[in-house]
Amino acid sequence: MAKVTLTIDGIGVMAEPETTVLQAALAADVYIPHLCYHPDLRPAGVCRVCMVEVEGRGLVPSCLTPVAEGMTVSTESPQVDKVRRVAVELLLANHPEDCLTCGKNNRCELQRIAAYIGIDRKQLGRFRRSKEPIPIDTSNPFFNRDMNRCILCGICVRTCEELQGTCAINYVNRGYKAVTAPFGNEPIAESNCEACGECVVRCPTGALSCKGFQEPTREVRTVCPYCGVGCGIRLGVRGGKIVSSQGDPQSLANHGRLCVKGRFGHDFVNHPRRLTKPLVRKQGELVETDWDEALGLVAEKFTQHKGKQFAAIASAKCTSEENYVAQKFTRAVMGTNSIDHCARL
């Protein structure tokens, strides 16, 4: 289908048909502040931060407005600023002001928008209500749910429903008491939550944050070591330790999505009980030794048991290169085809 031409802040923009004004602007590198929109999800239009002015139509939420040929859009005007400012002030009035110690510090969309709009602290008082602090739900071992920081954008609810099909959370209560929560406002660990963490990575504020999150010093693209789906992951490293894992959006197997094991299941790599030295059995006990002794012993014994007296079981956890070497060794050196692996179990 032919592209649609529209004008955003005086710039001509070519947009895909059936996209929204917000999508067209973002694709053209024009920033429109937004909180409840996420590219993976259907637009909800609940935060009202992405308001723009369309000539002949007045104020509209850009995330819900389809592009049209010849449309003229302004992302900035006194009207836009007024509406958007009030929307953000309402969100900030009761929001904790401890950004520096928040788990999402520097990765928070609300921070970014507050900075973009420019907030006058004195203006917030008029919206403030006395509100009991809500206890933080720490029941999940991998992430916390702090509803004091929730802006009710619903990205978590839509992620769980639209992307995961799990539907573990939804809106609970009304008005000032509204939060997102599992059925009956129970702790998340007692719900049907699968701990995939997809909501945590999409949450724009500190409402959902990983426990003990550390920013990695570098990330490496690799493949998850668990099931056969072969999800692409970006493993984050800091000081020789794996500190994070996120789905690789470029992976054709998973397009950035992960399950609980792929996102949170890599601590075993740096576990203190990892084997770090070869062991040989001496007087009935396994004792540590060096590679030279261990390999020498293996070579000596295997030499005595070539052919039918030998078998190898390789591993579907190892790389293909390692499996190749294992079968070559079994066939070429040990003289037998008795090699198998765990495919049957």
Partner 1 sequence: MAGLVTSFGSGAMTNSIGEIAETKCMLAIGTNTTVAHPVIAVEMKKAVRNGAKLIVANPKEIDLCRAATSFVQQRPGSDVALLMGMARVIVDEGLEDKEFIAERCENFDALKESLEAFDPDTVEKLTGVPKEEVAEAARCFATHKPASIFFAMGITQHTHGTDNVLAVANLAMLTGNVGKTSSGVNPLRGQNNVQGACDMGSLPNVYPGYQKVIDPKIREKFQQAWGCDLSDSVGITHTEIIDAVHDGTIKSLYLIGENPVLSEANASHAEEALKRTDFLVVQDIFLTETAELADVVLPGATFAEKDGTFTNTERRVQRVRKVIEPVGDSKPDWWITCEIAKRMGAAGFDFESPEEIFTEITSLTPSYAGITYERLEGGGLQWPCPSADHPGTPTLHTERFATPSGKGKFMPLEYRPPAELPDDEYPLILTTDRSLFHFHTSTMTRKVAGLEQLDGRERLGINPDDAARLGIADDDTLRVTSRRGEVTVVANVTGACPPGLVSSTFHFAESRMNVLTNPALDPVAKIPETKVCAVRVEKMPGGESGG
Shortest distance (Å) from residue 137 CB to partner 1: 14
Shortest distance (Å) from residue 213 CB to partner 1: 13
What does the angle CA 297 – CA 302 – CA 306 come to, to the nearest 5 degrees?
165
Question: Residue 107: enclosing H or E segment and its boundaries?
Answer: none
The residue among 61 and 236 lying less far from partner 1, judged by its C-beta, is: 236
The residue among 75 and 245 lying less far from partner 1, judged by its C-beta, is: 245
Separation of alpha carbons 193 and 160, rounded Å: 9
Shortest distance (Å) from residue 219 CB to partner 1: 9
The residue among 100 and 332 lying less far from partner 1, judged by its C-beta, is: 332
The residue among 128 and 301 lying less far from partner 1, judged by its C-beta, is: 301
The tokens of 102 are what? 């928040």
The residue among 126 and 344 lying less far from partner 1, judged by its C-beta, is: 344
Residues 6+ apart with CB under 8 A from 109: 35, 204, 205
Shortest distance (Å) from residue 18 CB to partner 1: 16
Separation of alpha carbons 260 and 201, rounded Å: 12
The residue among 119 and 210 lying less far from partner 1, judged by its C-beta, is: 210
Q: State the residue for tokens 């992307």.
A: 163
Shortest distance (Å) from residue 192 CB to partner 1: 8
Residues 6+ apart with CB under 8 A from 287: 279, 280, 281
Shortest distance (Å) from residue 162 CB to partner 1: 8
The residue among 123 and 315 lying less far from partner 1, judged by its C-beta, is: 315
The residue among 74 and 166 lying less far from partner 1, judged by its C-beta, is: 166
Residues 6+ apart with CB under 8 A from 42: 158, 162
Around Cβ 144, how many Cβ atoms within 10 Å? 19
Beta strands in 9-102 (DSSP E): 11-15, 51-54, 58-61, 72-74
Separation of alpha carbons 238 and 83, rounded Å: 43
The residue among 56 and 165 lying less far from partner 1, judged by its C-beta, is: 165
Shortest distance (Å) from residue 257 CB to partner 1: 5
Helix 109-117 vs helix 78-93: crossing angle, to nearest 10? 140
Shortest distance (Å) from residue 110 CB to partner 1: 27
Of 59, 58, 60, 63, the C-alpha closest to 35 is 63
Residue 128, classed as helix, strand or coil, is: coil
Separation of alpha carbons 266 and 276, rounded Å: 18
Shortest distance (Å) from residue 43 CB to partner 1: 16
